[in-house]
Amino acid sequence: MGRVGSLAVLVAVLVAGGCATARVPLAAGQQQLSAKPPVAKLKPGTQREDHAVLPTWTVVKPSKPAQDLKSPLAPVELFAKVSPSVYMVRATRDAKPSALQGSAVAVSASEAITNCHIVTHAKAITVSKGAVAFPAEVISADRQSDRCYLKVRDGTLEYVLGLRDFSDLSIGETVYTIGSPKGLDRTFAQGLLSGLRRMDGVEYIQISAPVSEGSSGGGLFDNRGNLIGITTFTMKGSQNLNFAIAASEYWK
């Protein structure tokens, strides 16, 4: 299926905060928060780095969607089916009123998956959809692969039902992205699966669907409504070379 053993062009390490690297994270959009967030407390087994409070990586197995949806959907039907499971994420940092903004995909009633570079330095995290917002915390993190799980408090998420493994994907499939680029909640876009890549043992999906700042953590879906990836970065100085970490990586 055209897989590459290693992706040499992506040798630079992903650095949150927009440093000049070969790949650029998609969560640079700044949003204002009206309330001052509480300071996060350090829990046993976590590490602090510039206000980062991240637990170690643990697969949250009960959150894994159990189905592989088989029926193709028209784009209008697909958006109606899966968009309620894509949320906006705001992560406040230091004492500043601004927040780093990205996206997350709910995979259970209380858990969502996203990119760590959105929430690494956060003192407070909010998961929202429209006027509905829930406080959240990171419960599992692997900064090297940029995988993070969020758990919401005092709320219930609408979650995706279908999941497809990286090994089942084919180049040329029609794919759809849903995220919050520039803070535009649940923006819908279409493209092609243009490459299946591996780097440092992590599986990535190359797509032609457009993504922008704030798209990090958003959902990549096949034409049946299965979650296949989490949009993660774009190539600096390129023409629409966008990448998602395979969704199946979150249960490894």
3-state secondary structure 152-171: ECCCCCCCCCEECCHHHCCC
What is the SS3 assignment for 77?
helix
The predicted structure's pLDDT at residue 181? 84
The predicted structure's pLDDT at residue 73? 98
Query: Are 250 and 58 spatial neighbours (Cβ–Cβ below 8 Å)?
Result: no
Residue found by looking up tokens 């409070």 in the block: 53
Domain residue ranges of the chain, discontinuous segments joined by + = 162-251
Q: Return the half-sphere exposure (C-beta side, CA atoms, 13 A cut-off) of residue 188.
A: 14
- Distance CA(126)–CA(214), nearest Å, equals 14
For 78, residues 6+ apart whose C-beta sits below 8 A from its C-beta are: 176, 221, 223, 224, 225
The predicted structure's pLDDT at residue 60? 96
Amino acid at 22: A
Query: What residues in the chain have per-residue pLDDT under 50?
Result: 1-21, 27-51
The predicted structure's pLDDT at residue 100? 86
The predicted structure's pLDDT at residue 53? 63
Q: Are strands 111-115 and 98-106 parallel, antiparallel or unpaired?
A: antiparallel
Which H/E stretch holds residue 227?
A: strand 227-235
Q: What is the largest CA-CA distance in the chain?
A: 49
Strand partners, 219: 178, 230
The predicted structure's pLDDT at residue 97? 62
Provide the CATH topology of domain 162-251.
Thrombin, subunit H (2.40.10)
Strand partners, 49: 52
The predicted structure's pLDDT at residue 183? 81
- Distance CA(89)–CA(214), nearest Å, equals 9
H-only helix segments in the chain: 75-82, 116-119
The predicted structure's pLDDT at residue 39? 27
What is the SS3 assignment for 218?
coil
Amino acid at 236: K
